[in-house]
Amino acid sequence: MPTQEELATKTLGDRAVVSPLGLSTARGDTIPDYVPDRAGVLLDIETNDIRDVPPPLLFERAGPREKIFFDPKKTRAAVVTCGGLCPGINNVVRSMVLELFHKYGVAEILGFRYGFMGLDPASGVEPVRLGPDDVRMVHKHGGSFLGTSRGAHDPKVMVDTLVRLGVDILFAIGGDGTLRGAHAIHDEIARRGLRIAVVGVPKTIDNDVPYVDKTFGFDTAVESASGVIDAAHSEAIGAYNGVGLVKLMGRDSGFIAATATLASREVNYCLVPEVPFELDGEHGLLAMIDRRLRARRHAVIVVAEGCAASVAKGDAERDASGNVLYGASGVDVGTHLRDALTMHFAAIGMPANVKYIDPSYVVRGVPANAQDAIFCDALARNAVHAGMAGKTDVVIGRLHRVFTHVPLVVASSRKKRIDPGGGLWLAVTEATGQPRLVAST
């Protein structure tokens, strides 16, 4: 658990510039909804024992400030998108550009291409200028129109680039690896005594950033995944002893698999990295599927890719960011389960039709749905407010449905995971009816 000191938000210095937002309020409303720095959001809002309540921990509340640090007419901002694709990246970039340009009057906005690679001159990739016309229709498309990449780059080199280009605010859109990289950039900026703000926006469809109740792209991924599960159910019930097997993304956390299971209501067994399961034995998955088919003649299984940790053999291949490639040979839990099911039914002489679906890249490459589009816009605007106010080394979070400033080092300190004893997993087990898939101890 972090301390209150660790949750404190850093600011580049005293704010002396009057925010231009007050000049653009609607007619009849002359009071902008500014947020004072003393406004906070409680980390915990409930307790198991009201007789033993510790001192509250609070995050600084996000939102526009009446006085800002940067003079908009002299400010140059930049945006970078890193890591894997995710629905809503383009929405965030578009809303950032429009907020900076139209509301704050910042005319100089750069977009770094292909992630942190674009901040390294050795890559030969130059940044592009961004204005309203450049982002007008990008939110209609999935992916990132700026491009993205994985892997670390030298913070000294990246800060050199920011200084050379005269960048005052860097907005970094990405997951835990990106947030760690952004924090490293901030540390190098601080070491040099520079006044450059670094503000992150959490991007991961796994929804595994701690102290943040939701990351953008998650709702769209769940919607897409639940449609795939429905298709697997159709395949299963359309065949004698049909088994629909769907592998979904989720390296360390099974939030997509669990939430899509609840959305679909057609899943019989949901497997996530946080909850151990066995294949063999009286209480294992294979025996349970056997019983299910004899009773109902069809079954649907959803498995998160991170469950491969239980079947991986030897040293697994990793990507440029150090993440295990769960689609690689030997660590693909989807194909492992498919083959195990096929061999099991062949061994016991039971006819079965196993249909395996892996929609991973389809789920993450689609445009944002309506709910995510709204969320992306709010994240982007709050990121701009933070950057213009001189807030730095922070990521924009949302907690208890209120937007917050979360220090980058806190947001990248661990992964948020499903609590096997919590309400989400209880809801999954009640929706599926699945038992514990391990021997009783």
Q: Show which residues are catalytic.
A: 206
Q: Give the pairing type, strands 197-202 and 169-174.
A: parallel
Scanning 245-332, the segments in alpha helix (DSSP H) are 255-264, 285-296
Phi and psi angles of residue 203, each rounded to the nearest 5 degrees, phi first: -125, 105
Task: State how far the alpha carbon of 88 is from the alpha carbons of 85, 109, 140, 383, 425, in Å.
Answer: 9, 20, 9, 15, 27
- C-alpha–C-alpha distance, residues 377 and 386, integer Å: 14
Q: 261 near 267, Cβ under 8 Å?
A: yes
Cβ atoms 171, 77 nearer than 8 A: yes
Q: How far apart are CA 315 and CA 337, in angstroms?
A: 20
- HSE of 296 in the Cβ direction (CA atoms, 13 Å)? 13
Token pair 């409303």 in the structure block, residue:
29
Closest CA to 58 of 35, 41, 38: 41
Half-sphere exposure of 24 (CA within 13 A, CB side): 11
Amino acid found at 9: T
Which residue stretches of 88-154 are H helix? 89-98
What residue spans of 88-212 are helical by DSSP H?
89-98, 155-165, 176-192
Q: Nearest 5°: CA angle at 323, between 320 and 329?
A: 100
Distance of alpha carbon 325 from alpha carbon 332, whole angstroms: 8
Q: How many other CB atoms are found less than 10 A from the CB of residue 420?
A: 14
Gap between the Cα atoms of 92 and 222, Å rounded: 19
| Integer Cα distance of 107 and 109 in angstroms | 6
What tokens does 354 get? 């196993």
Contacts of 338 (CB under 8 A, 6+ apart): 245, 354, 356
